[in-house]
């Protein structure tokens, strides 16, 4: 898969997991793709929050089942609360959820939908290459949620507006932003949301915008 | 006049007597109905309690798989992927390094399967119950545990033998807290098959507290309804003997 990966120089990556062996494996895997990156680790929700408050990473990889504090038991509530807090406090933070509990993310659907940074999900059953692809997508600001999280096609009115401006009126992102009185960044974020809803992701030889138009017409979102 | 009065009194007595008899019958019927209703309600609560406990146990088992086994498999896989990516020329040596971890994961899965549904329980009850209780005893290093089992057990397996074992393990989980001193587990048979668990508590306060546990009460009722069997509890000094018969 893949477009060119994001440059690794000066990248700061935070990996959050309470299993040492998992942390070690993930850090080593990340170093194969981002050899120059500075990789920090955290084993509790409190430590992860403190690290992000100290220095916002380019991307944070989070397990959902972690303890709130040292010597506490791991639980998904602590992981979900950390994720919620990070998304609300750092709206442009790029996040990868790497977990065996990805189904729990359904509880945060509205927060995930409103998030402006990249957001991807890598189940722990995924291969190393799939995980690295998801990290790269998150760094590009893209969105990927598992199919189970998407019950039917849910497209917000503002995303539809972007599609109409782009494919009915032929506007580029800057012009769309002006027409909708939004920032370009927000328009790009809406693109990633609607592409995730339509199941359009980067792949060899794929033109994302054209593929989005094809899928949008198939779903009847545009004429 | 006197005869009429006597006749009237007699009639009144007979009528009153008959009414009272009706009333007694109606009260008796109401009492029976009320008692049946109470018994049904108590049984319902006990069965609900049992279902809640099993759901909790299943949730804990599932979490232990997600937080334990799955994480180990993830680490093993990443380790092998990294070795393949970074040192493909050493693939044979790298495969060997993963074998001990694979064996560990295999054993964990095997134990988990035994925990969920012990193999051969209905054909070899005595052996399985000894194994299960030995394992429980090994985990309770704080406790002195002794067993009194017969040499043979030649009874046809109960339809609900798995359920009986579940009840026994739940009883041990509830009735043997950390402050207990000693546990003696007997397996008996005469007209019925019976397991007796005698718990010796370290002080009277704990003994009293355990004697009145609501959970034991629900467990007993659920056992009697679901197995079906008989559950008894005898307390004296600092000991309580729990008896499950079927």
* Nearest-10 crossing angle of helices B70-86, A20-33: 30
pLDDT of residue A113 exceeding 90, the answer is no
Inter-chain contacts counted by CB atoms under 8 A, chains A and B? 43
Question: In angstroms, what separates the C-alpha of A21 from chain B's closest C-alpha?
Answer: 6
Per-residue pLDDT at A154: 78
Q: What is the CB neighbour count within 10 angstroms for residue B148? A: 11
B113 contact partners, CB below 8 Å, separation of at least 6 = B119
Tell me the residues of chain A between 8 and 27 that have a Cβ less than 8 Å away from chain B.
19, 21-22, 24-26
User: Are the C-beta atoms of residues B168 and B195 closer than 8 Å to each other?
Assistant: yes
Per-residue pLDDT at A102: 84
Percent of chain A with pLDDT over 70: 95
Per-residue pLDDT at A4: 44
A144 by Cβ neighbours in 10 Å (0-12 / 13-18 / 19+) ranks as buried
DSSP one-letter code for B121: T
Q: Which of A21, A62, A68 is nearest to A40 (CA)?
A: A62
Tell me the residues of chain A between 26 and 55 that have a Cβ less than 8 Å away from chain B.
26, 28-29, 32
Query: Which chain B residues are Cβ-neighbours of A29 within 8 angstroms?
Result: 78, 81-82
pLDDT band at A1 (very low <50, low <70, confident <90, very high): very low
- End-to-end Cα, chain B, rounded Å: 71
Query: Which chain A residues are Cβ-neighbours of B70 within 8 angstroms?
Result: 100, 124
User: Are the C-beta atoms of residues A93 and A69 closer than 8 Å to each other?
Assistant: no
Per-residue pLDDT at A3: 40
- State residue A204 phi and psi, 5-degree precision: -55, 125
Question: In angstroms, what separates the C-alpha of A29 from chain B's closest C-alpha?
Answer: 7
> Which range among A24-28, A161-165, B129-133 shows the weakest confidence by mean pLDDT?
B129-133
Cis peptide before A132 (omega within 30 of 0): no
Hey, are the CB atoms on A22 and B74 less than 8 Å from each other? yes
pLDDT of residue A2 exceeding 50, the answer is no
> Which range among A131-135, A211-215, A216-220 shows the weakest confidence by mean pLDDT?
A216-220
B233 strand-pairing partners: B242
Q: Which of A65, A101, A124 sits opposite B74 (nearest CB)?
A: A124
A177-215 pLDDT, tens per residue?
A: 999 999 999 999 999 999 999 999 998 888 999 999 999
Hey, are the CB atoms on A32 and B79 less than 8 Å from each other? no
Per-residue pLDDT at B64: 86
A42 strand-pairing partners: A16
Q: What is the CB neighbour count within 10 angstroms for residue B100? A: 9
B85 contact partners, CB below 8 Å, separation of at least 6 = A32, A128
Q: What is the CB neighbour count within 10 angstroms for residue B94? A: 17
Question: Which H helix or E strand runs over B147?
Answer: strand B144-148
User: Are the C-beta atoms of residues A48 and A82 closer than 8 Å to each other?
Assistant: yes
Q: What angle do CA B240, B241, B243 make, to 5 degrees?
A: 145
Query: Which chain B residues are Cβ-neighbours of A124 within 8 angstroms?
Result: 70-71, 74
Q: Which of A65, A100, A128 sits opposite B78 (nearest CB)?
A: A128
Please report the beta strands in A109-214, taking only residues with DSSP state E, as ranges in sequence order. Answer: 119-123, 143-144
Question: In angstroms, what separates the C-alpha of B41 from chain A's closest C-alpha?
Answer: 35
Hey, are the CB atoms on A32 and B82 less than 8 Å from each other? yes
pLDDT means per 10 residues in chain B (246 residues)?
A: 66 70 87 91 93 91 88 90 82 73 86 82 80 88 86 73 90 86 82 86 73 87 93 88 92
pLDDT of residue A8 exceeding 60, the answer is no
Hey, are the CB atoms on A25 and B72 less than 8 Å from each other? no
């Amino acid at each position: 898969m893949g477009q060119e990966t994001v440059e690794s120089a000066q990248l700061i990556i935070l990996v959050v997991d309470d299993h040492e062996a998992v942390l070690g494996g993930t850090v080593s895997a990340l170093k194969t793709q981002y050899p120059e990156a500075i990789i920090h680790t955290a084993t509790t929700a409190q430590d992860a929050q403190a690290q992000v408050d100290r220095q916002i990473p380019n991307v944070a990889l989070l397990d959902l089942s972690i303890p709130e504090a040292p010597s506490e038991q791991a639980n998904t509530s602590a992981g979900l609360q950390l994720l919620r807090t990070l998304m609300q406090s750092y709206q442009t933070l790029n996040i990868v959820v790497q977990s065996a509990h990805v189904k729990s993310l359904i509880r945060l659907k509205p927060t995930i939908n409103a998030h402006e940074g990249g957001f991807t999900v890598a189940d722990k059953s995924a291969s190393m290459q799939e995980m690295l692809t998801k990290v790269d997508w998150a760094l590009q600001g893209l969105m990927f949620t598992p199919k189970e999280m998407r019950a039917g096609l849910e497209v917000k009115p503002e995303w539809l507006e972007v599609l109409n401006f782009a494919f009915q009126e032929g506007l580029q992102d800057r012009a769309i932003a002006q027409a909708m009185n939004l920032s370009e960044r927000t328009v790009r974020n809406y693109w990633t949301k609607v592409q995730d809803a339509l199941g359009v992701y980067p792949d060899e030889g794929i033109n994302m915008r054209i593929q989005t138009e094809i899928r949008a017409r198939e779903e009847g979102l545009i004429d | 006049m006197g005869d009429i009065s006597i006749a009237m009194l007699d009639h009144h007595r007979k009528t009153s007597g008959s009414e009272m008899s009706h009333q007694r019958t109606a009260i008796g019927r109401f009492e029976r109905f009320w008692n049946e209703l109470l018994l049904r309600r108590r049984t319902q609560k006990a069965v609900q309690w049992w279902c809640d406990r099993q759901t909790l146990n299943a949730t804990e088992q599932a979490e232990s798989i997600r937080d334990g086994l799955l994480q180990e498999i993830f680490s093993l896989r990443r380790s092998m992927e990294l070795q393949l990516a970074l040192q493909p020329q050493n693939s044979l040596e790298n495969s060997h390094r993963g074998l001990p971890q694979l064996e560990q994961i295999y054993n964990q899965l095997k134990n988990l399967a035994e925990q969920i549904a012990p193999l051969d329980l209905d054909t070899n009850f005595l052996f399985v119950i000894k194994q299960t209780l030995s394992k429980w005893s090994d985990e309770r290093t704080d406790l002195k545990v002794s067993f009194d089992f017969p040499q043979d057990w030649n009874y046809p397996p109960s339809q609900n033998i798995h359920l009986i074992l579940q009840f026994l393990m739940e009883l041990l989980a509830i009735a043997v807290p950390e402050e207990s001193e000693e546990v003696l587990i007997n397996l008996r048979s005469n007209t019925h098959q019976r397991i007796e668990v005698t718990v010796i508590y370290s002080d009277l306060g704990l003994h009293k507290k355990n004697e009145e546990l609501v959970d034991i009460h629900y467990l007993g009722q659920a056992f009697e309804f679901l197995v079906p069997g008989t559950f008894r509890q005898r307390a004296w000094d600092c000991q309580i003997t729990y008896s499950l018969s079927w």
